[in-house]
Each structure stands twice: as C-alpha cells, then as structure tokens.
Structure 1
Amino acid sequence: MAKVEVLIDASSAYAAHEQLVKGARSRPELWRLILGLVLIGILVTALNLGLFAVVAGMAPHDWTMEFLQGASPLAMLVLLGSFGFITFGVAVVARRLQHRSLQSILGQYQLGLRQFWRVLGALLILGVIMAALPPYGVGEPMVQNLDLSAWLVLLPFSILAVLIQTSAEEVLFRGYIQQSLAARFRSPIIWMGLPAVLFAAGHYAPAVAGDNAMLIAVWSCIFGLLASDLTARSGTLGPAIALHFFNNIIALVFISLPDNLSGLSLFLLPYDMSDTGMLRQWLYVDFVMMFVCWLTARLAIMR
C-alpha cells in the first residue's frame, strides 16, 4: 500500500513530465535506449577525435594535456564547446530510433525559456545574498588566475561555452535517458535513479580526486536526482539547465580548483581536488548549498 501511495504522489507532482515523455511512448523498447547510447558514444568519440586532430595540427606545441585538463582559456573553450557533439548525437539518435525531435526532448520552447530565466534569476539573487554573508573566503587567500581585463573579454565566450556544456549534459541525462526510461517504467526510482547513477559514474575520477572521488560522485548523484525532480515538475529542461549552468559558472568561471578545468576562471582555490581535508570540508558546504539552490529553483517554477 505504501508503495502505491508513493507512486500516486509522484505521478501527481510529476504530471508535467508527461509532456516530455509522451514523445517516447510510441517506441519505449529498452533496446532503442541502449543502442542509442552506444551510437551517441561512437558519434561523440569520432567527432571529438576529429576536433582534437584539427586543433592539435594547428597548435605550436604538444597540446594534449593542456586540452584534457582545460589548463588554458583556449583549451577550456574548445573542451566545453565540444560538448555540443553530445547534443548533436542525441538529436540524431532520437530522430532515427524514436522518431523524436530535439525540441520534444527539451520541452515546449517558450515555457522552457521562461522557466530557465526565472530559475537563473532566482539563483543569481541567492548567489549575491550568500556572497554577502559570512564566512568570507576559504581560509587561505585565493590565487588570481586571469587578469580581470582578460577575464572580462573572455566572459561572453565563457558563458556560451558553459551553457553548451551544461545543456548538453541535461539533454543526455535528464532528456534522452530519463524520458526513455519513463516511457518504459512507471517508477521514478528507475527513471530518476538510473540517470543520476550514470551521471555520478561520469564524475567519478579517483586518479584526479583521490580519496575525495567517491564523495564527489555522491554529490553528482544527488545533483542528478534534484535536476531530475525539477525536470519532472516543470515539464521542460529549462530549470535543470539553469541549475546546472549556475553551478558550473561558479565552479568554472569564477572560482576553480587549480589542477583541473581552470583555464577560464578568475580565481583559483588554494588547494586541489586530492586535498582530502580542505576539499571535503567545502564539499559538505556544497551539499547544503545544492539543496538550497534546488529549493530556490522549485519556488521559482511555482510562481
């Protein structure tokens, strides 16, 4: 009985999700999803190899590690921009295997755009409020990464690149995967949980994060669940993209870790991903902030 009540409550809260899922209901077979993910992986890999070959051929030195680590502004712009291949791959595969358009995965355009700006505006206000409140700083002083003038010149390109990257991940995880699973399974435990686990697996990097790798993966999993919740409540990918975009703008454009994806950031934190003590303290703070941002986003889409 309790399980039935949970499903009823979820279906009521997530009624808007049907607007996204209905396009996949005519072809809900799991083999289409699995084959689609394989084809997306192949297509994205091939396009990235082609892009890397072109860029490497133009570079005056060995650009491999600089590109993979996003260690310079150009490397970061190219790296983030390459996520557009994921959106392209999803669009091609969804059309071929499910006869769906990218628009049907994103949701109703005007509504999604309205929800995106509403959520992003609320999060920006929250960010200003949180920046004005103690505690100030992160213990040791932050290190300036880019000159302010250079950072401002790059800022429009940085914003566009982060938007490409975050929207691509949402199109794949909260779009193609979540909606395909929801067309096949009724329980949100499956169609919310599995994309979140896959999202977390993509962020599990023990070679870089050391002992913090699992905690970062757990953070990513919970973030995925919260983004799935926003998507199901709103009926578009707009709120989830706004939440993801806000988070990554802060982490990639304003304050980054020094050892990974720092090329566009104004400041660097005084510790790296493998610093178990310091990073773990701030990850716990991030967990709290993630829930505050999610609640803010939920309030924004309820207006």
Structure 2
Amino acid sequence: MYLAQAFKVKHDFWRYVIGSIAVIGVNFVAQIPFIIAIVFKDGFSGLSVSDESDLLNILDSNTTLFLILLPFAASLIALYFVVKYLHKQSWRSVTTSRKKIDWKRVFFAFGLWAVVTVILTFIDYYSSPEDYVWNFKFVPFLILFIIAVIFIPLQTSLEEYLFRGYLMQGFGTLFRNKWIPLIMTSLIFGGLHYFNPEVAKLGNTIMIYYIGTGFFLGIMTLMDEGMELALGYHAANNLITALLVTADWTVFRTHSLLRDVSEPVLGFDVFIPVFVIFPTILFIFSRKYKWTNWKDKLFGKVEEPVEEIILGEE
C-alpha cells in the first residue's frame, strides 16, 4: 500500500511540518537571484512589485524562465534530504509502492499526454490561425529547449513529490484514511496556483482547473499505488506547453514555436479538461494497468502494516 509505507519510517507529523517549512524556506532563498537580476536590470523604477506581469517582462524570457525554475530545483534537492535524513525514508518508497520505480509508467504517461497536447494545439492552430503568430527563432528556441528539458521536469517533479508523495503519505499516516489526504493535497496544490498570472487575467473560475488537476493527479497516484504516472503526465503538460505555445498573460512566457495573441475568455472550456479529458485519461490508465477496487483505494483506511512474526525466531 503506497500511503501505508510511511508507517515504516519516522512519520511523526511534526516531521512533515518541519520538512515542509524547510522546503519552502529553500524555495524562498533560491528566489534571491531572480530578485537581484530584476534590481540590476530595472532598479524597480516605476514598477509595482506586486504586479507579477511586469516582473516577468523585465528580463529576457529565457533568463526569466531559468530563474523562476531554479527555486524548484533547489527545493527538490531539499526535499530529498528531508526525506532521507528527517524521515529516514528511501526516495523509492516516497515515489512508489513497487520494488523499484517503474520508468515505463513515467514514459508512457509522458508520451501519451505529449502526443495529445501536440494534436490539440495544432488542431486549434489550424482552426483559428488568426489567434496565433509563428514565434520561432532558432537560437532563443534552442536555449529555451535546453533550459526547459533540464529544469521543467525538476519543477514538476518537486510538485509531485511534495504533494502526491511526501504530504499525501504524511496526511495518510495522520488521518489514517485516503480521502482526506486526497482532498487536502489537491486543495493546497490548486490553491498555490492562485498566484499565477493566469488567475489575474482569467478570473477565479480558473481555479476549478487547478484544483481539478490536483484531484486528477491524486486519484491517479492512489489508484496506481505510486507516483510514476503523475510524474510523467505533469512533466509532459508543462514541458510541451512551454515549447509549443506562449502568451503574454501566462506564467511561462517563452520563445516557443507559437504565440497566442487572442484575447483570453474563460468559459465552459474550463470544465472540459476536468470533466471530460481527465476522466478519459484515467479510464485509459485503468484499462492498461488493470485498476480495480476504486472505492477502497480512494476512500479506504490507511492501516499500519502488521509485522510478521516467524515462529522459532526471537
């Protein structure tokens, strides 16, 4: 059982509190280079520091992307040491219930969603070409590609290990059920996206998508007894999007192939991923990996494993 594995290590909940604070602290410290770069570039002259949209436009987009991804890489390293030394837990056991990390699952989820994302993007491009401009420039795109391929998987992995791994296991041992960890990690994950510039542009309704994504990834993790599928999906979602299309109102403003110049309007389409696409992907995974017993895996108890006593041994 994926969540129950945490009972085998140091799982006092105060450790999860301290560990989370440590990871957040490292994240804030790693943001200092971005702040310094902005000060040297602009000096904040005439700039409202609270205006994230302005902050993201001060530096070259590749430099900005690198500097906003750097704290995630640093935080992932911090989380690794928290897991290893504060909880005395292996990285494998916070990743999966299997004997080793199933990289085939990671790559399958990555490939599936990468292909779907490319297809959906170019369908939209050819159906509404007036909404896009060709943005490709070889050298900036090459730099973007290198930064994105290295750092975006670290960013998405940090989010998955923190929410679907570390905190989900921590809440599992605290509440000894599965549905409260699922709800709490999904709400926290979605809530942290409230500060994305997309929310300011599109309104609070977009939070349905972010929180729904948290539930989608959490369900995926609980049903599959591991994070591999969530790791692959999340990496594909952010990486392929960063390389394919950008817009002036998104958190990732990149030298991508396309730039969306349409005026964004949030309508019924916010519900399509949550209520159509996500269930479809879960269905595909459930068929491929033969998921069963949904009720117990999503709403059952998290029980401390009983160690077997072998007769004849002290």
The verdict on a shared fold, with TM-score over 0.5 as the criterion, is yes
**Matched position secondary structure for 2:194:** coil
Residues 188 and 140 of structure 1, relative CA distance in 2, 3 Å threshold: farther
Deviation, structure 1 residue 213: 3.6
1:64-122 CA distances to partner (integer Å, 9 max, x unpaired)?
Answer: 87895276112112322331122122122223432223333223585431210122223
> Secondary structure, in 3 states, of the residue corresponding to 2:102?
helix
1:43 deviation in Å? 2.4
Which of 178, 193, 197 matches 2:183? 193
Q: Name the residue aligned to 1:90.
A: 79
Q: Which residue of 2 aligns with 1:52?
A: 34
Q: Which amino acid aligns with 1:41?
A: I
Contact persistence 1:142–1:267 (CA under 8 A)? yes
Q: Structure 1-normalised TM-score?
A: 0.77
Superposed, 1:109-124 pairs within 5 Å as 110-124=100-114
* Aligned mates of 2:269, 2:43 — CA distance in 1: 34
- CA RMSD of the aligned region, Å? 3.3
- The one-letter code of the counterpart of 2:279 is F
Q: Secondary structure at the match of 1:268?
A: strand
Q: Work out whether residues 255 and 267 of structure 1, in 8 Å CA contact, stay in contact via their aligned partners in 2.
A: yes
Pair 1:269 & 2:254 matched: no
Residue-pair matches, total: 280
Distance 1:85 1:54, change over 3 A: same
Greater mean alpha carbon deviation, residues 148-157 or residues 219-228? 148-157
Aligned to 1:7: none
Instruction: Report what 1:279 is aligned to.
Output: 266
- Which TM-score applies when normalising by structure 2? 0.75
Query: Cα distance 1:125–1:266, how it changes in 2: closer, same or farther (>3 A)?
Result: closer
Matches within 5 A, 1:190-269: 190-205=180-195, 209-210=199-200, 212-260=202-250, 261-269=252-260
- What is the CA-CA distance between 1:168 and the residue it aligns to? 0.9
Rounded to whole Å, the distance in 1 between the matches of 2:28 and 2:125 is 43
Secondary structure of the residue that 1:45 maps to in structure 2?
helix
Pick the structure with greater CA Rg.
Answer: 2
Instruction: Please state if 1:69 is matched with 2:56.
Output: yes
Q: Does 1:99 align with 2:82?
A: no
**1:139 shift after superposition:** 6.8
Q: What letter is aligned with 2:63? A: L
Give unpaired runs (5+ residues) of structure 2: 292-314
- Of 229-238 and 191-200, more deviation after overlay is shown by 229-238
Q: Map Cα deviations across residues 11-37 of structure 1 (whole Å, 9 max, x no partner).
A: xxxx4x24xx41345433332222222
Gaps of 5+ in 1: 1-14
Whichever residue aligns with residue 121 of structure 1, its letter is: G
